[in-house]
Amino acid sequence: MIHSHARATFSPEGPFQLTNIERRELQPHDVLIAIQYAGICHSDIHTARGEWGPVKYPLVPGHEIAGVVSRVGTAVTKYAVGDRVGVGCMVDSCRECDSCRKGEEQYCLHGNTGTYAATDRYGQYTQGGYSTHIVVTEDFVVRIPDELPLDAAAPLLCAGITTYSPLRHWNVTPGQKVAVVGLGGLGHMGVKIAHAMGAEVTVLSQSLKKKEDGLRLGADHYYATSDPETFQKLAGSFDLILNTVSASIDMNAYLSLLALDGTLVNVGAPAEPLPIQVFSLIPQRRSFAGSMIGGIRETQEMLDFCAEHGITPEIEVIEAKQIDEAWERVLASDVRYRFVIDISTMNKE
């Protein structure tokens, strides 16, 4: 077994505590990664608090992992010691089903293996990136281009791919009108990536507090959803709306903002239902869709795209002892725009 230090929560309420976890000995295709940075995703909070279903404790969240390969298994061909690498939301899948064969491992018909809170093929409960080391099969590791610093690369492994994948899948092209709902970790990446794809980007945020930021990040327009006039003014405007909100909001109001044949893609994942009236969809042949992270090949493509276009998230680097405080700030929508844990501070009290 390989020892790793980690920050774990021992109950839905927390707090985080320093602990030791065991990683499996390297199998032939495994790489051992010395983690340097781990992003904090709102999904960490939903999961650890049991909002998506029961989980086991202690739980080490973290699926935005950036680090350096420190050892490789005997059959590894893709990576060598010293390589800068990342791991996102999954660490394995069946690799045989139709989805896996298409490179859409996130939609594995047998369920992908989550980076944390899942049981892997060895029967071990997976533990995530709020830790010093992780062992992952080389097929679920991606390469971080030299142009991207490791701290800012970390959030791309979830926030980056979760917004890149639907923007690609729904073929965003220059001049298209794209709205991003919620300017948090995912939302701010959605703005940057949609802008780089040439879209005319609108942010729909609860208030105008972050307007200057939004415009600086690449948005062309910025509206407050607390103002009912926003919905009148923008009715029928957008080709694509990307909803990144972590809470249940009135989907019918947002669907009314779609143009003919427009699609609202939901990536936000509140536990509560999002009720939809059929008459929000029928009149303009609108679609309501969902999307989950992205496959491994596409995650690599996204990292290369970000390197090529000079796209990195806006981050606030914190020490490991500040995780509880950072989570509270995420819950209060007070994050600009992603917290990233400096793993070198793991043992610091």
Q: Could you list the residues that contact Zn ion (CB under 5 A)?
A: 41, 43, 93-94, 97, 100, 108, 158
Which residue lies nearer to ligand NAP by CB, 309 or 336?
336
Which residue lies nearer to ligand NAP by CB, 69 or 306?
306
- Find the residue with minimal CB distance to ligand NAP: 184
Among 136, 267, 315, 346, binds ligand NAP (CB under 6 A): 267
Decide: is 221 part of the binding site for ligand NAP (CB under 6 A): no
Among 8, 158, 178, 258, binds ligand NAP (CB under 6 A): 158
From the list ligand NAP, Zn ion, none, pick the one residue 38 interacts with, judged by a Cβ distance below 5 to 8 Å according to partner type. none
Which residue lies nearer to ligand NAP by CB, 182 or 218?
182
Q: How far is the CB of 311 from ligand NAP (least distance, A)?
A: 16
Which residue lies nearer to ligand NAP by CB, 19 or 206?
206
Phi, psi of 39 (to 5 degrees): -80, 155
How far is it, in rounded angstroms, from Cα 294 to Cα 308? 19
Angle between helices 185-196 and 159-169 in degrees, nearest 10? 40
Q: Choose the binding region for ligand NAP from 19-27, 143-151, 266-274, 315-323 (rule: CB under 6 A).
A: 266-274
Whether residue 306 contacts residue 329, with contact meaning beta carbons closer than 8 Å, is answered with no
Tokens 């942010």 — which residue?
203
Whether residue 108 contacts residue 46, with contact meaning beta carbons closer than 8 Å, is answered with no
What is the length of the chain?
349
Q: How far is CA 348 from CA 7, 9, 18, 129, 131, in A?
A: 11, 17, 9, 17, 13
CA 50 from chain center: how many Å?
A: 18
Decide: is 245 part of the binding site for ligand NAP (CB under 6 A): yes
Decide: is 128 part of the binding site for ligand NAP (CB under 6 A): no
For residues 64 to 103, the per-residue mask of contacts with ligand NAP, x marking binding by CB under 6 A and - elsewhere, is ----------------------------------------
Which residue lies nearer to Zn ion by CB, 129 or 262?
129
Helix (H, G, I), strand (E, B) or coil at 163: helix
Residues 6+ apart with CB under 8 A from 48: 9, 12, 14, 55, 59, 61
Give me 180's structure tokens: 């991003």
Decide: is 46 part of the binding site for ligand NAP (CB under 6 A): yes
Q: How much is the CA Rg of the chain, to the nearest whole Å?
A: 20
Whether residue 248 contacts residue 227, with contact meaning beta carbons closer than 8 Å, is answered with no
Q: How far is the CB of 94 from ligand NAP (least distance, A)?
A: 19
Q: Choose the binding region for ligand NAP from 7-15, 121-129, 132-140, 240-248 (rule: CB under 6 A).
A: 240-248
For residues 289 to 318, the per-residue mask of contacts with ligand NAP, x marking binding by CB under 6 A and - elsewhere, is --xxx-------------------------
Decide: is 115 part of the binding site for ligand NAP (CB under 6 A): no
CA angle 47, 85, 99 (to 5 degrees): 60
CB atoms within 10 A of CB 226: 10
Q: How far is the CB of 147 from ligand NAP (least distance, A)?
A: 24
CB atoms within 10 A of CB 285: 10
How far is it, in rounded angstroms, from Cα 39 to Cα 233? 36
Which residue lies nearer to ligand NAP by CB, 197 or 293?
293
From the list ligand NAP, Zn ion, none, pick the one residue 152 interacts with, judged by a Cβ distance below 5 to 8 Å according to partner type. none
Nearest alpha-carbon partner for 189 in 224, 154, 145, 142: 154
User: Which residues bind to ligand NAP, rule: CB under 6 A?
Assistant: 41-43, 46, 158-159, 162, 182-187, 205-206, 210, 244-247, 249, 267-270, 291-293, 330, 333, 335
